[in-house]
Amino acid sequence: MTTRSETRTALDHLLTEIEHRNPAQPEFHQAAHEVLETLAPVLAARPEYAEPGLIERLVEPERQVIFRVPWQDDKGRVHVNRGFRVEFNSALGPYKGGLRFHPSVNLGVIKFLGFEQIFKNALTGLGIGGGKGGSDFDPHGRSDAEVMRFCQSFMTELYRHIGEHTDVPAGDIGVGGREIGYLFGQYRRITNRWEAGVLTGKGAGWGGSLIRPEATGYGNVLFAAAMLRERGEDLEGQTAVVSGSGNVAIYTIEKLTALGANPVTCSDSSGYVVDEKGIDLDLLKQIKEVERGRVDTYAERRGSSARFVPSGSVWDVPADLALPSATQNELDENAAATLIRNGVKAVSEGANMPTTPEAVHLLQRSGVAFGPGKAANAGGVAVSALEMAQNHARTSWTSARVEEELTDIMNNIHTTCHETAERYDAPGDYVTGANIAGFERVADAMLAQGVI
């Protein structure tokens, strides 16, 4: 039987090979390290996982598509962006994962997101594989007509790679209801098919699911609540700091408020707001979702309870809970140390990999409950899968039914991660629990389907 030490050595060699085969992709390297460094116990206990080169296949995408996206702005000038779709693993079902439109997008970022998506989707138990896509296009400041022309050009290439039984994209940073609408319209135009299940995040009136916009934020709060319950506490009366002011952050704030917590911050690239009375959700939605404005406007309109801070970090604000909901690697070791000094009890990731490895280790060593994104923010993709189910049946569910399903899924994910961590002698370690539980589900399917 292979020992943990021998398995650890083999994984170290594989990680070196991953870095060699995927140069200049630090985000993907980080994601691979984060998962593989926790797998030694399960590989030692179940050596059949190492036999058919399973790990080597798992870290190599099944397909990587890169394409040119030419489009014209309102003045007739031609721009050329780069589009990506990484179809990482389909052992459990069709590839499922969002599209991100942001200047920071490159192949390494998409691969990191797609790799994370494999395990996140597996944890939902809903039969969906992992993939991700996007473009380095920046929709900020562009007119609706410019965004439409970009989306139509993007879909003109992407359509040949997706389908409700093959690959089902959704939204992510920079891709909301407007963009999904334009993308779906172009797909329908090209294919001459009303294939509702090809994209999720659609409008509720034309195939979308109720609670989908709220799902990632709601799910993250539900996971945080489950972690607190495990420690004999609840959300009532807890102060929370939330980063970001997009879809995930807004609905994180909404659910925190509904469950009795007091979220006091939000942020964007210009700085952050602290509102001692608690974030006024209606005002924040008006500024960010309707006016597409900045958070400093929130502070101007809110009054004396709120202040805008253009520098520093949202993590400087004392709180019981921290919910990073903006982007990757936004919470570093210094920020984690500040949160710990200020008495934080739990950190739950609404964004994808927003906490650096050093910060994660510090939080765990300090006894802070830490919910990794692949578990804590799985609510979004879970409701996307529920949207696919509704599309398949040509029906729609009530908000109450969707939210009930989401609550059950998030509680089951928490239970699965918690019990798996205990089974592998890492009690309370949700990172290890999430990685191993997601891996086992995918690995079993891969073994059953042969070397492909």
Tokens 């140390």 belong to residue: 337
Q: Which pairs from 70-77 meet CB under 8 Å and 24+ separation?
A: 70/153, 71/146, 71/149, 71/150, 71/152, 71/153, 72/149, 73/142, 73/146, 74/143, 74/145, 74/146
Active site residue 255: no
Tell me which amino acid residue 267 is: S
Give the pLDDT of residue 284: 97
End-to-end CA distance of the chain: 26
Residues 186-225 have pLDDT tens digits of 999 999 999 999 999 999 999 999 999 999 999 999 999 9
Q: Partners of 172 in the beta sheet?
A: 175
**Cα of 298 vs its chain's centroid, Å:** 26
Asked if residue 4 has pLDDT above 90, the reply is no
Residues 360-409 have pLDDT tens digits of 999 999 999 999 999 999 999 999 999 999 999 999 999 999 999 999 99
Q: Partners of 370 in the beta sheet?
A: 347
Give the pLDDT of residue 2: 64
Residues 88-107 have pLDDT tens digits of 999 999 999 999 999 999 99
Give the pLDDT of residue 1: 54
Catalytic residue among 120, 132, 255, 374: 132
Residues 165-186 have pLDDT tens digits of 999 999 998 999 999 999 999 9
